Amino acid sequence: MKIAKNLMMIATLTCFFGTFSAIAKDYSLVLSNPSKAANIKVAVLNGAVNVIGYQGEAVMVSADVKPLDKVQPSVAVSTDKPTELKKVKAATPAIILEERDNEVDIISLSREQTVNLTIKVPNNSNLTVQVSKGGDIQVSDVSGELELQNGQGAIIAANISGPIVAESGQQDIKVTFVNFEQRQPSSLTSHNGNIDVSLPANVKSDIRVQTYTGEVYSGLDTEFQALEEVRNDDDGRQRVVIGGTMATKVNGGGQQLSLSTYAGNVFVRQKP
């Protein structure tokens, strides 16, 4: 019955958002098994996502939906409006929410609206968040696994443990670790922005840094050294690359943290 109730929210949101041009609304999805970690996937075509961890048993979504600013049509596109017909607004869904066995999907693929989501999740949730166009991805106080991808905006994650895999196409990535999970490696990649990482003083990690046109700034006690890497190509050639990647071991070393940016700087900070 709980699953059926949550699935019914799809039709409800389709009609609701198709009726109004701008709306702010709150929704709640109760997890099927609150004692287990939830796997939450968020996909937004136009908008921004802010995820906040809390001590609770439900996923709470606040949606701020507004009409997308229109771009003037090309001269090659006909703008003639038939006088004998009236315009009917299509009821495209702005957001779809679904929960089944602690698998939560929150999806907004509307091309006509900007959807800004604030989502409260249990602290131990695992998150996959993707924003194609628009604003930032923000995550705070979540201890589960994070996979974050933003096409245009920044990625900001605070008080997390990881592991985290994050990629930003245009903007900065800023991550503050409260702990550093040793289960899997973490990786941060920005194509045109800076990467700024803060680590607790007692963290054990192998850190690798790569920037093609920027600088590396470190507040760690250990020094970065240039790596000499041997690569075997598919055609049988062997290449030795010297200095492409800088590396250091923090507190004797541990799980790997890779930081890579093509056109930005890298900042590695140590929290007191």
User: Where exactly are the structural domains of the chain?
Assistant: 1-69+92-144, 176-272
Q: What is the pLDDT of residue 88?
A: 60
Q: What is the pLDDT of residue 103?
A: 97
Residue carrying structure tokens 């709640």:
28
- How long a stretch of residues is the chain? 272
Which residue from 66, 62, 58 is spatially nearest to 32, judged by alpha carbons?
Answer: 58
Note down pLDDT in tens along the chain; length 272 residues.
Answer: 343 344 434 434 444 444 445 567 899 999 999 999 999 999 999 999 999 999 999 999 999 988 876 544 444 545 566 667 766 655 555 789 999 999 999 999 888 889 999 999 999 999 999 999 989 999 999 999 999 999 999 999 999 999 999 999 999 999 999 999 888 999 999 999 999 999 999 999 999 999 888 899 999 999 998 877 666 777 777 666 555 788 999 999 999 999 999 989 999 999 87
- CA–CA distance, 97 with 121 (Å, rounded to integer): 14
pTM: 0.82
Which residue from 69, 85, 58 is spatially nearest to 2, judged by alpha carbons?
Answer: 58
Q: Is 186 exposed, middle or buried (0-12, 13-18, 19+ CB in 10 A)?
A: buried
Q: How many CB atoms lie within 10 A of CB 241?
A: 12
- Cis before residue 163, ω within 30 degrees of 0? yes
What is the distance between the terminal CA atoms of the chain, rounded to a whole angstrom? 50
- CA–CA distance, 24 with 30 (Å, rounded to integer): 20
